[in-house]
Structure 1
Amino acid sequence: NSPVRGRDGSVELIVHRVEDVTSFIRGREGGAAPDEGLGPRTANMDADLYIRARELQELNEWLRQAHARERETALTLQQSMLPASPPEQHPYAAVRYRPAVGSLNVCGDWYELTDLSDGRIAVAVGDVVGQGLEAACVMGQLRSALSAATRVTQGPAQAMEVLGRYARFVEGALAATAVQVVIDPVAHTVTYSCAGHPPPLLLQVQGAVEVLDQATDPPLGARSEDVPRPQAAIGYAPGATLVLYTDGLIERREEDIDVGLTRLIRSLARHRGLRPEPMADAILADLGVTGGPAADDTALVVIGL
């Protein structure tokens, strides 16, 4: 039996008798021509199988092109919704995005840089569960909601609380992860709140790498609304570097995610002193994310403080 999906989405089942197929194959292996020694029924089946094979070949090519178009559309949609972040607007930041290659598992990762009116800077990254156009649309809604909430709330915990409540009403947004940090360049502090996302890293001037994991909570929509989201703060000296990322940077199959996190920490410490742009490239190279085929999307934001 051969299932075939038609161009209208319907599924048809092509049925061949086992003894007919066996007879056909044995005849071919013996070198018989289509109409020599196989009988009229098998000879007719020869032509039928040839036609079906051509139809399957054409259908497979049509499906391949359709999948390629969907992936290209999803990538274009995601790129149009992510901030451009031109160097002249954010000279202190370097952003890298690497989509998954060879599959439709794209458009779940996002990032956002927001300049606040009091001189502070809010930076966020997130990851939506799912793939393709649906994930791209959910990503756009969450990113826009957090950007708006950041401008009217006091601190990242409140902004993440608003985002979590909003996610409950967006289909496909539950279990999405996100983290936001607010940088105060006057007080030299980084305030942060995390919803199920890998922790940001802070490379201090003296070389120590701080893991910002003191304000971690479950993913969006996966916690009680009666409990406020946690928030923590840490100080830094001018010249420090802040790194936010998605799990595609550190997660590998058959490897504990802590191994990837340790690899990232060592890479960050190794390239101490680099400016954000070259540091972002060095981290991707160390972690093996350099533009080749990847199993998952990867977003990386490097901030010079």
Structure 2
Amino acid sequence: MSGPDIGYEAVFHALPGAVALLTRDLVYADANEAFLSMSGRTREQVIGRYVFDVFPDNPSDPAATGMRNLYASLRRVADSGEPDTMALQRYDVEYPDRPGVWEERYWSPVNVPVLAPDGTVALLLHRVEEVTELIRARGGRPGGGDRAQVLEAELYTRARELQEVNERLRQAHAREREVALHLQEAMLPAPRPLVHHRAAVRYRPAVGALNVCGDWYDLVDLPSGGRTAVAVGDVVGHGLRAAGVMGQLRSALSAASRVADGPAQALEVLGLYARSVDGAESTTAASVFIDWNAHTLTYSSAGHPPPVLRHPDGTVTYLDQATDPPLGARPVHAARPQAHTAFAEGSVLVLYTDGLIERRREDIDTGLARLAASVTRHGAADDPDQLADALLTELIAPAGLTDDTALIVILL
């Protein structure tokens, strides 16, 4: 038996709590009657207008920071796709019929993303609970008078303290992001020409303050001559700690590749080393050795998404025949597999980290198919830099990266 046909628009407007829908540009798309009643605004005064044109900060009171804090929260939700519960906020609300006259109000907001079918953020749901009367706690009630004034003072103090804590956390996260990005730039190798063919590398940090600096890339012509080792990796975790682990593992794999017989042996050495590095467990990595003379690719993967090979006729092959668990996943050491495939001149090899293909609530095969289609469309160009930029432009979601992304494109 099927359930009732529910009109969710009617449900939205019947909600007893105050809720509004905002676009990603922070324009009101809709608001229920409870929100309009609480804010003292008509539908015409709200819908289709920018949120801070409807509710600006009080220009005469620097302590009125509610709107600035709300802006930061809404942007975090739009960029990250994650809900954000705000601390108690003070808002000075201008009377719509009395310009320049402001009323001190206290609201407790929650902001939630509304996702489109592709996992991107389509709208922002803004729910507000007003606690102004609780803060004011007027006298005349049981325990009123002085007790009410004490309660008001305590609640106001706690609200300001929470605001200050939130601001300190935001500043700390911003500083960590800046330091981590500088550390990332210092540890990733500067792009340099290969002996045989051209390559392009890209690193894009995530939009969030902490979601940065776990990914790396490396490519180097090997001393044996006629071969190039290419690798990408992804450390679990974010921030400065992940950046430090990334630097150790990238250097270790780069060194191992110079003396190993092939990528499987290089990843075996990296796996043994990773056991001694705190935070390295479950790191994924993929390594490809290019033999320019034999026109072959030898590859191995430690739990990493498969590299992509575009053939001159536009068809795409996933290098997925030598996949093993991530680093540190096995309790005992075991040899890692590797596989070989031939390539024709004019082919394109693409290595990447999962930030390029993964979307929330989407199967990874969908992301892999999206990558293959994009490589097919743009891979005929003889400029790897153009292809790298096209892939990033086409594959990064409109909401921005929620995980950092490393990318290597090599024209074979």
Judged with a 3 Å threshold, the aligned counterparts in structure 2 of structure 1 residues 136 and 90 are, in CA distance, closer, same or farther, namely farther
Contact residue 135 and residue 152 of structure 2 kept, 8 A:
no
1:57 and 2:168 aligned: no
Cα distance in 2, alignment partners of residues 27 and 219 from structure 1: 53
Cα distance in 1, alignment partners of residues 329 and 158 from structure 2: 49
Cα distance in 1, alignment partners of residues 290 and 222 from structure 2: 10
Deviation at 1:172, TM superposition (A): 0.8
Judged with a 3 Å threshold, the aligned counterparts in structure 2 of structure 1 residues 76 and 149 are, in CA distance, closer, same or farther, namely same
Contact residue 349 and residue 411 of structure 2 kept, 8 A:
yes
1:13-65, CA deviations, whole angstroms, 9 ceiling, x for partnerless residues? Answer: xxxxxxxxxx9836848xx599xx94112123323333333333222212211
Cα distance in 2, alignment partners of residues 73 and 285 from structure 1: 26
Question: 197-206 or 42-51: which moved more?
Answer: 42-51
> Secondary structure, in 3 states, of the residue corresponding to 2:219?
strand
Judged with a 3 Å threshold, the aligned counterparts in structure 2 of structure 1 residues 38 and 87 are, in CA distance, closer, same or farther, namely farther
Q: Decide which of 191, 197, 220 is 2:298's aligned counterpart.
A: 191
Cα distance in 2, alignment partners of residues 233 and 66 from structure 1: 47
Q: Decide which of 142, 149, 153 is 1:47's aligned counterpart.
A: 153
Amino acid at match of 1:77: L
Gaps of 5+ in 2: 1-130
Cα distance in 1, alignment partners of residues 403 and 340 from structure 2: 30
Contact residue 232 and residue 286 of structure 2 kept, 8 A:
yes
Cα distance in 1, alignment partners of residues 152 and 335 from structure 2: 70
Aligned to 2:388: 280
Q: Decide which of 227, 230, 234 is 2:334's aligned counterpart.
A: 227
Contact residue 267 and residue 336 of structure 2 kept, 8 A:
yes
Contact residue 179 and residue 192 of structure 1 kept, 8 A:
yes
Judged with a 3 Å threshold, the aligned counterparts in structure 2 of structure 1 residues 24 and 154 are, in CA distance, closer, same or farther, namely closer
Q: Decide which of 171, 185, 199 is 1:93's aligned counterpart.
A: 199
Aligned to 1:139: 246
Q: Map residues 96-107 of structure 1 onto 2, 5 A cutoff.
A: 96-107=202-213
Gaps of 5+ in 1: 1-22
Contact residue 272 and residue 333 of structure 2 kept, 8 A:
no
Cα distance in 2, alignment partners of residues 226 and 127 from structure 1: 21
Aligned to 1:270: 377
Cα distance in 2, alignment partners of residues 143 and 86 from structure 1: 17
Cα distance in 2, alignment partners of residues 89 and 57 from structure 1: 56
Aligned length: 278
1:150 and 2:274 aligned: no
Equivalent pairs: percent with the same residue? 63
> What's the TM-score once normalised by structure 1's chain length?
0.84
Cα distance in 2, alignment partners of residues 27 and 82 from structure 1: 52
Deviation at 1:86, TM superposition (A): 3.8
Which structure has the higher relative contact order (CA within 8 Å, separation 6+)? Answer: 1
Contact residue 182 and residue 190 of structure 1 kept, 8 A:
yes
Contact residue 102 and residue 293 of structure 1 kept, 8 A:
no
Question: 54-63 or 110-119: which moved more?
Answer: 54-63
Aligned to 1:84: 190
Judged with a 3 Å threshold, the aligned counterparts in structure 2 of structure 1 residues 220 and 249 are, in CA distance, closer, same or farther, namely same
Amino acid at match of 1:130: G
Deviation at 1:299, TM superposition (A): 1.1
> What's the TM-score once normalised by structure 2's chain length?
0.63
